[in-house]
Structure formats: structure tokens, C-alpha cells
Structure 1
Amino acid sequence: MPPPDSDPPRSPAPPQPPGMDDTTWLDVIHKMDEVYSQLVHDEIELEKKNVELEQSQQFIFSVLSAMSDVLLVCTTSGEIEETNAALCELVGRADEDLRGTSLFDLLADSDSVARARTVLLNASPTRLGEAVELNLKGALGECVPVDANCTPRIASSGRRLGTVFVARPTAEIKRAYQELRAAHEALKKTQQQLLHSEKMASLGRLVAGVAHELNNPISFVLGNVHALSRYSDRLRTYIAAVHAGEGDQALAHLRAQLRIEHLLSDLPSLIEGTLEGAQRTADIVNGLRRFSAMDPEERKPVDLNQVVDRAIHWVAKGSPRPFTVEWHAGAPCMVMGSAGQLQQVVMNLIQNGLDAASGAMSEGPRLWIDAATEGGMVLLHVRDNGPGIAPESLTRIFDPFFTTKPIGKGTGLGLSISYGIVEQHGGALSARNHPAGGAEFTVQLPLAA
């Protein structure tokens, strides 16, 4: 028996394979650890990619579900691959029922089938897509017209995989168009009302001057009518004597007493003067009526020189204080437009110039107006001797409701409306501070052909 304190006998170590030692085994174990670590890392990355893929799928699904437009994706043969909630609701079928079926089964008539087939068979479709009108079968079997945009679906290799249809029911488009048209008409009506309101404001400033302007011809007509009334009494007396058979001597005496010869020679000038005064009154009234009326859209040849003459005349009649205007009409400057609207523009510019120059106490308000043609355009310049326009106001001078006048003295619409009128006539209205002082407004209008 072996002694009690002695170790038990050990089995001999297995023999190592030829060429293998401890270092080699350590390398193998190290490589196995690296492979295992790479597998763990790859598994983590795969899990992250799966999560990202799932999030992307959920995002795409939420976008497709939120789309109000109808979406349908099909192969080149017309087999449905993808739809969205809007299409399913429109046709009354679930997504799983639509997948794998034919696009043509959703179309309501043969014309729609033919148009869809033409799109699918197009060998060289544009990436921007093409518009086509289709009729779909609704959930209740009704015909639902849609306006579809068809774009090709291309693989990374460049091969065409199918077609994407994005459509919207035409009724919705028509409703949106009608709402847009109604809003446009309302805007036009409001703009016309603003234009008319500003015109009435300009017309109100002329009332006092118009009363004075009408007083002269009307007084002239009244004076002539009174003279004609007296002359008619004399003629009635003389004719009564003739019918009574008075003698020649008595008639001659009566003729001299009643001044019949002077009466007969004076009648033509009285009648002519009365007609002239009445015509002058009619011209004043017609001019006011043309200015205050809602102008039609028609355009006629207009001499801008005459427009300036009338504008100066009316502003002068309505101005509470005198002013000086340097204006000499030259050759006719013919433009195509509305005489009333152009007169409103010029009157606004003249009135603004007078308001700006009202503080020039040394020489009083003064305006310089000139018109010239240049490069197929008529250039009308209106300059005043006021303080000019502040630099911060130059960029806003034509904005609606912008005014530098005190509260209650201006609406801020005159220049804005004038700007719009000139633009409608194919021209431009600009403002600057003149080097010699004061503000200068320039109206550019194309010459009439």
C-alpha cells in the first residue's frame, strides 16, 4: 500500500498533435473569441436594422393611410401591388382583396380601360408622369370620375417595374375650383368697390369748385332767357298791332318805340349764347358723370394731354387755395385705356403734390408736369416743391392704407389704386425724390398702336 501522505498517481497527458503547441492553441481560442464577438455585433446590428426597417414601414404605412388622394401601384401588366386607405374607401374593398387583382376590374367603362392600357403599354414614359381621366367603380357601384397622374416605377437597374397612379376625384377638384373662382370674383368686386370709393372721395373734393363752374354758364343762360322773354313781349305787342290793321305810320312809330330792328339783330346772338351756355353746362355734367361712373373694361385711344388738362382744371376748381402749375401740352400722346381711370390717376398725383407742397409758404404750392414719348412709351412726370418723401416711406408709398397724412386727412388708397390702374393699362408708376427738391411721380404707359 502506498503511504497515506503520498499523491494519487496521475494519468499521463494526452499526446499533442504533431506541430501543435500551447501558442497555437491560444491563437485558436483568440480567433474563436473574435468570431463570437463579431457574431454578437452582427446580431445587434441586424436587430437595429430590423427596428429601423419596421419604423420605416410604419412611417410609409402612416403616410399612405393619411393620403387623401387615391394611390394605386401596379405591375406592367396591371396587377395591383399596393393601395392606400383612400382607394379602399372609395371602391369599398379591403387592401388584401385588391392585391393581386387587375387594375382593369376597378374601371367603370371601356374608355377608361383603354386609357389605362395605353399608359401601361407606353414604352417610353416620362418620369414627370402624364395626366389621364379615369372612371372608377365606387363602393355603391356608381361611376366616380378621377383625375389621375401616372408615373413609371423604375428599378435601380433602369428596368420598368410598373406604374404608380395618384388620383383625386374630379368633383373635389371642381369644388375647389369653384371656391377659388368665387373668392376671385369677390376680390374683384371688393377691388372695384375700393376704386369707386376712392373716386367718390376725389369727386367730393370737387363739389365746391363744380358749383362755381356751373354758376357761370347757368347765369349766362338765365340772363339770355330773361332778355328773350322781354323780346317776346315786344314782338307779341307789335304782331297784335299788325293783326289789328294799324296804319303804316302807327306801325312805324310802334316799331321804333319797341326797337324791333335792334331786337331782331340781337336775337341770333342771344340764341347762340344760350345754346353755348347750355352746352357748357351739359359738358360739365357729362364730365363729372364719366369720372364718377363705374368704368367699363373696354379700352379706347386717349390723348394723355387732354387727360392732364381736365385733371388740372378739376383740381383747381376744388382747391381751397391757389397754386401754380407749369404745364405745356405738346404733341398728342395717345395711349389705349379708360379716360376716366387715367384722369383719376392724374388727379390723385396732382392732389398729393398739392398736399405735400402746402407747407411751401415762400412761393406757395407749385407743380411741374410734363409728358414726353420715349421708346414706344409715354412718360408723364408730376413734381412738387414739397419736402419730398422720407427714405423709409419710399418702399411703402404704394402699399394699401399707407399714408403720411394726419388721421382723417387721407385713406392711404389713392396711390395704391393709381398703381393698380396704371398696371392694368400695361404701364408702371414709380416715385422718387427729385434732385432739385420735392417728390416726383412718373407714369409710364405704352403708346397706342
Structure 2
Amino acid sequence: MFPEHKLPGTATDEAWIDVIQKMDEVYADLVKYQVEIEEKNRALEEAQQFMASVQRAMSDILLVTDRHGLIKQFNPALEQLSGRDAEQLSETCISDLFISDHICFRHMLSDPDKTMLQDCEVMLALPDSRTLELSLNCTPLFDERKRIEGLVIVGRPLGELKRAYRELNEAHEELKRTQQQLVHAEKMASLGRLVAGVAHELNNPISFVYGNMHALKSYSQRLLTFLEQAQSGLTQAELQSLAEQLRINRIMKDLDPLVDGTLEGAERVQSIVQDLRRFSTGQASGRQTFDLVHTLHTALQWTSKPMGDRLHLINNLPDQAQAYGHPGQIQQVLMNLIQNALDAMDGLEQAKLEVTVIDDNEDWIEVVVADNGAGIPEIGLDKVFEPFFTTKPVGQGTGLGLSISYGIVQEHQGELTVHNRPEGGAVFTLLLPRHEKVSVS
């Protein structure tokens, strides 16, 4: 036997102290690990409760299968739709639950390339041999080695989808009808302004012709009386007296001016009707070279008359300026721009409308329409050509006039822009091609 050796007291105490310190460290680590495990368990439990709440709240079915196609997890929606309880659904093969002529779930589980389904129509087998049409989405469930472990399937009854699509289509159709009504209202409003302008333009020459014809009718009765008396054998002295009484000499002097004035009024009416016909047929006729200045004059005459003396009109127009396009459509654009400017100046004691044609480019011609109204709010400058955008009070504008004009200009390969003047008012600039097949640089 070996002899017994005893450590000194101090060495024994130090060894015990080291052991106790190590035990304290291990215990502290155990407590720390225990706290972390409890926190993770609490977080896991919260996540599980959240997922369970989500699954209970889902109206769509959700289920997970294993690699053999057996149902392992599912939400309450599947129980409600299928008419089966949890015990009946567990370990049920999805091929027995979903009926489809073009989907084989076994092949999907064996071939990774076929595990993706999107909006696929299948039939859900219900008790009593009934079925329910579903739309399914399917994605693969992989393990940590990227092998297919099962399928995740989400679906909803097609009846709900069809009802949603039907409601969406009905809302879309209602929106289209409303839009058509607004477009029609805008057309009727434009037509009303056009009729008012044309009526005012026609009123002057027709009134002139009407007055001249009344005078000619009165003169014709005097001339007939004089001729009848002349044929009755009156003496020269009696005829001279009758001529003075009927003012035959004055009638003879007035005849040419009356006829000339009547012809001039009729020609003015004919010109207005031709302009109106050109405007109305502009939509159907082909594009052509036309006098933009004449079209602009017509647009001004038909829109600016109701302002009367309150409007100070400044025309910076050449005698002629050629443009290429639909004369009627361009006249509609010009009338919209001018009417928009007049509306912006409504209520002003002295409205000033300035219309300028810039004819210094062989490919393009420019029309500038400026007013002294309040201008367009900065926030609306980028939206002024959008459909239904308007700064007018409710009931006084549909917000389609400038949008329609912008579309017409785009179809003509032109440009329509707007900006505010520093001194106040808005400026619309219309750029149109002078020839066919001109591109904007």
C-alpha cells in the first residue's frame, strides 16, 4: 500500500472553492438556458396561437399533406366545406378528397416540376355523392435537403370567385355606362355652346336679309301700283306726280344696295352653314391640308359672342396658315380651349383673351390661347388633361373637354401643353403638323 498523504488545509479549501465556483457557473448557465427555453417556448406558443387564429379566420381551405398525399394538417374551413370532421379528414388521401380529370396528385408528388398549380379547377367530394367546384393553388413542401416532403394546398369555392367576378364586371359595366353618360353630357354641353354660337352668328345676316326683304316687298307693291297706273293711260304730268307720291326715284336708288345686301347676307349664311358642315363631318372625313386661321376665326365667332363687350379679344393672326389634319376635329379642340379660357374669366369685369398663331416653322404651326383668369392651381397642372379632372364647381363641368381635346391632338401627332403666366391666367399651347408624316423633335 501507498502511504497516505494529506494536503495542507489551505490547498483543500482552495479546491473546494473552485468546485463551488464551477457549480455556481454551471447553475447560472442552466438558469440562463432555462429562461431562454421558456422565452422561446412562449414565442413558439404565441406563433402557434397566431397561426391557429389565422387558420380559423380563413374562409379559404388550407391543408398540408405528406409525401404520400395523406392529409396531415388542415384548417376549419376544410371541415366546414367538406362536411367531414377532423377525424375523418386526418390521413385521408387527397386523391379521394379532390376529383379531377386532368390532375394526378401522385404524379405531382413524384415529379418536382409538376407540383405547382395555380387557379386549377377541381371538384371537392362531399357526403351523399355531392361535389363542390373549387379553385386550387398548390405548392411543394420541401425538407431540409430540398426533397419533396408533401404539398401545401389552398383553395376556395368557385361560386365565390364567380360571384366576385360578376360583381366586378357589373361594377365595370356601370362605370362604363356612367362614363358614357358623362361623355354624352359633355357632348351635349359642347353642342349647346355650339348651337348658341351658331345661332348668334346666323342671327345677324338673317336679320339683315329679313329686313331687306320686307323693304323689297314694300317697294314691289309701289312699283306694281305705278306700272298699273302707267298702263291705264295717264298723262306724263300725272305719272310724274304719281312717281313723286310713291317715291319711285328713291326706290330705284335703293334697289341695288338692297339686293347686294341681301346677297351678302345669304352668302354669310351659306359660309356659316359650310363651316358647320365641315365641323360636323370632320370626324368621318380624311385628313387634309386646311386653313387653320379660318378655322380659328370660326371657333372664336361661335364661342366668344356671348361675352359681348366684357371681352377684350386680341388676335395675333396671319391672313392664312396651313395645317394638316381633320378640320372639324381641330375646330372642336380650338373651341374647347377658347371656351375653357372664357369660363376661367367668367365674372371678370374686363376679360382679356389673347389668341396667337406662330407660323415660323416649315413643319409645325403653333396656336397660343391665353387668358387673364385665376390660372390653374399648381397641384392641378399635371392633371388638367386627365379625364374627369376639373376646377369648376360641381355641376358646371364634366372634366372631359380638355381630355378629349388632348386625345384628338395626340391622334394628330401634335402636342397640347399648359402653363400659368406670372401675371395671372393660363396659357394653352397647341402644336400641329403642317404636313403629313411629321414627327415631334
Report the equivalent of 1:422. Answer: 406
Q: Does residue 126 of structure 2 align to residue 139 of structure 1?
A: yes
Question: SS state of the match for residue 64, structure 1?
Answer: helix
Check 1:157–1:18 CA distance in 2 against 1; reply closer, same or farther (3 A cut).
Answer: farther
Q: How does 1:49-128 map to 2 (within 5 A)?
A: 49-111=40-102, 113-114=103-104, 116-117=105-106, 119-124=108-113
Q: Determine if contact 1:133/1:145 at 8 Å carries over to the other structure.
A: no
Equivalent of 1:389, from 375, 382, 392? 375
Q: Who is 2:420 aligned against?
A: 433
Measured after TM superposition, the shift of residue 386 of structure 1 is: 2.2
| Corresponding residue number in structure 1 for 2:172 | 184
Following the alignment from structure 1 to structure 2, what is the Cα–Cα distance between the partners of residues 221 and 121?
95
In structure 1, distance between residues paired with 2:163 and 2:57: 21
Q: Is the 8 A contact 1:354 1:366 kept in 2?
A: no
Is the CA contact 1:199–1:344 (under 8 Å) kept in the aligned structure 2? no
Q: How far apart in 2 are the matches of 1:17 and 1:343?
A: 121
Asked whether the 8 Å contact 2:357–2:368 carries over to 1, the reply is yes
In structure 2, C-alpha distance between the alignment counterparts of 1:48 and 1:366, rounded to whole Å: 77
Q: Which residue of 1 aligns with 2:300?
A: 312
Structure 1: 5+ residue runs without aligned partners?
1-14, 235-271
Instruction: Give the secondary structure class of the aligned counterpart of 2:151.
Output: strand
Deviation at 1:437, TM superposition (A): 7.8
CA distance in 2, matches of 1:169, 1:388: 56
1:194 alignment counterpart: 182
Contact preservation (8 Å) 1:426, 1:445: no
- Matched residue count: 375
4+ runs of 1 displaced by more than 6 Å? Answer: 15-20, 221-227, 272-282, 287-291, 371-375, 444-449
Say which SS state the counterpart of residue 104 (structure 1) adopts. helix
Matched with 2:315 is 325
User: Within 1, Cα distance between the matches of 2:194 and 2:119?
Assistant: 60
**Alignment TM-score, normalising by the size of structure 2:** 0.65
CA drift of 1:104 comes to 0.8
Further displaced range: 390-399 or 96-105: 390-399
Three-state SS of the structure 2 residue aligned to 1:53 is: helix
Asked if the contact 1:324–1:367 (Cα under 8 Å) also holds between the matched residues in 2, the reply is yes
* CA distance in 2: counterparts of 1:401 and 1:158, whole angstroms: 55
Q: Report what 1:38 is aligned to.
A: 29
Q: Per the alignment, in what secondary structure is the counterpart of residue 184 of structure 1? A: helix
State whether residues 369 and 381 of structure 1, in contact with CA within 8 Å, keep that contact through their aligned partners in structure 2.
Answer: yes
**Counterpart contact for 2:317–2:357, Cα < 8 Å:** yes
Q: What are the equivalent positions in structure 2 for 1:21-420 lying under 5 Å apart?
A: 21-111=12-102, 113-114=103-104, 116-117=105-106, 119-124=108-113, 129-140=116-127, 141-215=129-203, 216=205, 301=287, 305=292, 308=296, 310-321=298-309, 323-328=313-318, 330-334=321-325, 339=328, 343-355=331-343, 365-369=353-357, 381-384=367-370, 386=372, 389=375, 392=378, 395=381, 398=384, 400=388, 402-403=390-391, 411-414=396-399, 417-419=401-403
Distance in 2 (alpha carbons) for counterparts of 1:77 and 1:301 = 70
Q: What are the ranges of 5 or more consecutive residues in structure 2 without an aligned counterpart?
A: 225-262
Identical counterparts, % of pairs: 34
Q: More deviation in 378-387 or 47-56?
A: 378-387
Q: Tell me whether 438-447 or 277-286 shows the greater mean CA deviation.
A: 277-286
Report the alpha carbon displacement of residue 420 of structure 1 after superposing the two structures with TM.
5.3
TM-aligned CA deviation for residue 387 of structure 1: 6.0
After superposition, the C-alpha distances for 1:411-433 in whole angstroms (9 at most, x for unaligned) are 2545x542255248756743113
Over the aligned positions, Cα root-mean-square deviation in angstroms equals 4.8
Partners of 1:381 and 1:17 lie apart in 2 by 117
User: Are the structure 2 counterparts of residues 390 and 178 from structure 1 closer, same or farther at C-alpha, using a change threshold of 3 Å?
Assistant: closer
| Cα pair 1:90 1:138 within 8 Å, conserved | no
Using a 3 Å threshold, how does the CA distance of structure 1 residues 353 and 37 change in structure 2: closer, same or farther?
closer
CA distance in 2, matches of 1:73, 1:420: 55
